[in-house]
Amino acid sequence: MALPVLKLDGIAKTFGGARALAGVSFSVAPGEVHGLLGKNGSGKSTLVKILAGFHAPDPGGRLDFNGEAVDLPLKPGDFRRLGMSFVHQNLGLVPSLTVLENLRFAHLTTAKSGFIDWRRERATAREALDRFGLAIDTEERIDRLSPVERALLAIVRAFEEIRVACAATGRPGLVLLDEPTPFLPREGVEKLFGLVRSIAATGSSVIFISHDIDEVMTITDRITVLRDGQLAGSLVTRGATHEQVVEAIVGRRIARLGVASHAGPAVARPAFARITAAAGATLEPSDITIGKGEILGVTGLIGSGYEELPYLVFGARPCRSGSIAFDGGEPIALSAMTPKRAIDLDLALLPGDRQGASGVDSLPIVDNMFLPDVARFFRGGRLSRGAMLREAFDLGVRYEVRPNDPSLKLSALSGGNAQKVLIARWMNRNPRLLLLDEPTQGVDVGTRVQIFAALKAAAASGMSVVCASSDAEQLAEICDRVLIFARGRILTEITGADLTKDGIAEACYASIDLAGHVGAASPSVHAS
Ligand SMILES: Nc1ncnc2c1ncn2[C@@H]1O[C@H](COP(=O)(O)OP(=O)(O)OP(=O)(O)O)[C@@H](O)[C@H]1O
Which residue minimizes the CA distance to atom 1 of ligand 1?
412
Cβ atoms < 10 Å from Cβ of 329: 10
E runs forming strands in 352-480: 378-379, 382-383, 433-437, 464-468
> In angstroms, rounded to a whole number, what is the distance separating the alpha carbons of residues 148 and 150?
5
At 433 the pLDDT is 96
Task: Tell me whether residue 233 is in a domain.
Answer: yes
Tell me: ipTM over 0.90: yes
> In angstroms, rounded to a whole number, what is the distance separating the alpha carbons of residues 341 and 205?
51
Cα 92–chain centre separation: 15
At 183 the pLDDT is 62
Q: What are the phi and psi torsion angles at 153 (to 5°)?
A: -65, -45
Measured from the Cα of 402, ligand 1's closest atom is 29
Mean pLDDT, rounded, of the chain: 85
Task: Tell me whether residue 214 is in a domain.
Answer: yes
Which residue minimizes the CA distance to atom 4 of ligand 1?
412
pLDDT tens, position by position, 336-375: 999 999 999 999 998 876 545 566 788 899 988 887 677 7
Pocket test for ligand 1, best of 39, 414, 441, 443 (most atoms within 8 A of CB): 414
Name the least confident of 219-228, 238-247, 300-309: 300-309
At 525 the pLDDT is 39
pLDDT tens, position by position, 374-402: 778 888 778 888 999 999 999 999 888 88
Task: Tell me whether residue 2 is in a domain.
Answer: no
Measured from the Cα of 419, ligand 1's closest atom is 26
Task: Tell me whether residue 162 is in a domain.
Answer: yes
Radius of gyration for the chain, computed over Cα atoms and rounded to the nearest angstrom: 24
Cα 143–chain centre separation: 18
Cβ atoms < 10 Å from Cβ of 216: 22
Residue type (1 letter), 356: G
Do both 369 and 333 map to the same domain? no
Whichever domain contains 265, its CATH number is: 3.40.50.300
Do both 137 and 282 map to the same domain? no
Residue 517 — pLDDT band, cuts 50, 70, 90? very low
Domain region containing 43: 31-56+75-250
Q: State whether the beta carbon of 403 lies less than 6 angstroms from ligand 1.
A: yes
Distance 30 CA to ligand 1 centre (A): 28
> In angstroms, rounded to a whole number, what is the distance separating the alpha carbons of residues 183 and 222?
24
Do both 96 and 147 map to the same domain? yes
Do both 222 and 281 map to the same domain? no
Cβ atoms < 10 Å from Cβ of 247: 16
